Amino acid sequence: DAMVIQNPRYQVTQFGKPVTLSCSQTLNHNVMYWYQQKSSQAPKLLFHYYDKDFNNEADTPDNFQSRRPNTSFCFLDIRSPGLGDAAMYLCATSSPPPTGGNEAFFGQGTRLTVV
Amino acid sequence: GNSVTQMEGPVTLSEEAFLTINCTYTATGYPSLFWYVQYPGEGLQLLLKATKADDKGSNKGFEATYRKETTSFHLEKGSVQVSDSAVYFCALKDAGGTSYGKLTFGQGTILTVHP
């Protein structure tokens, strides 16, 4: 089935050690998003790509970077993780009308622990 | 700016009880409205959606009607099951402007259903 796949499901990293989370999609959607979610709070958008156009939210820390080498893959890089960056990271895709229905499709998330 | 307000949780019900989770929104124009469900340790799954006024979204016994006059999109289910225990998020996406607009989420409502 077409879907959004995140790897790994669980990631443990050391304080200050760079870490990369990955996301792939088989939906061929133009738009890919990265959200951060803490403790049953609402997901918070970090940034998104429309094709290769990168859009950063104003309050996303510089510690967070992203790469999208092609339509299918998108990466989240955390350059120097702090304890406050421990969270669930959600990747999502969407395809705007008329080709798509405008809803976002989410992966299963990566749970990041910082020790 | 856009905003979504959900009823305060958590909500605890007995199996087969009637469920209502209130959701109201503030937005310009005619946004698309969504309900997402998140099971423990998982990503978000689209439950249902509505894209214009008076549309009714439905799925798995859940329903919600897009009410523009009251700016509401309340989620209902006639008879809940233990397996419905999850966190429910109401969300909206801009209809106009940028075609890839981000989702604005409510704060989430935790639902627990007891046998």
**The predicted structure's pLDDT at residue A2:** 61
Q: With CB atoms and an 8 Å threshold, state whether B46 touches A43.
A: no
Residue to mutate among A55, A68, A103, with most B CBs inside 10 A, is: A103
Task: Give B40→chain A minimum CA distance, Å.
Answer: 9
* Cβ count within 10 A of residue A110: 22
Per DSSP bridges, beta strands B56-59 and B62-65 are: antiparallel
pLDDT band at B95 (very low <50, low <70, confident <90, very high): low
Residue whose pair of structure tokens reads 């509505």 in the numeric block: B50
What pLDDT is recorded for position A1?
A: 65
Give, for all 115 residues of chain A, the pLDDT tens digit. 669 999 999 999 999 999 999 999 999 999 999 999 998 789 999 999 999 999 999 899 999 999 999 999 999 999 999 999 999 999 999 887 666 667 889 999 999 999 9
User: Given CB atoms, is A93 within the 8 Å cutoff of chain B?
Assistant: no
Give residue B99's pLDDT band: very low, low, confident or very high (50, 70, 90). Answer: very low
Looking at residue A73, its pLDDT comes to 97
Whether A71 contacts B17, CB under 8 Å: no
Kindly tell me if the per-residue pLDDT of B63 is higher than 90.
Answer: yes
Task: Please say whether the beta carbons of A43 and A37 come within 8 A.
Answer: yes
Q: Say if the Cβ atoms of B105 and A42 lie within 8 Å.
A: yes
Nearest Cα to Cα of residue A95 among B99, B39, B91:
B99
The string over A3-39, giving b where at least 16 C-beta atoms fall within 10 Å of a residue's C-beta and e elsewhere, is ebebeeeebebeeeeebebbbbbebebbbbbbbbbee
Mean pLDDT over B23-40 rounds to 91
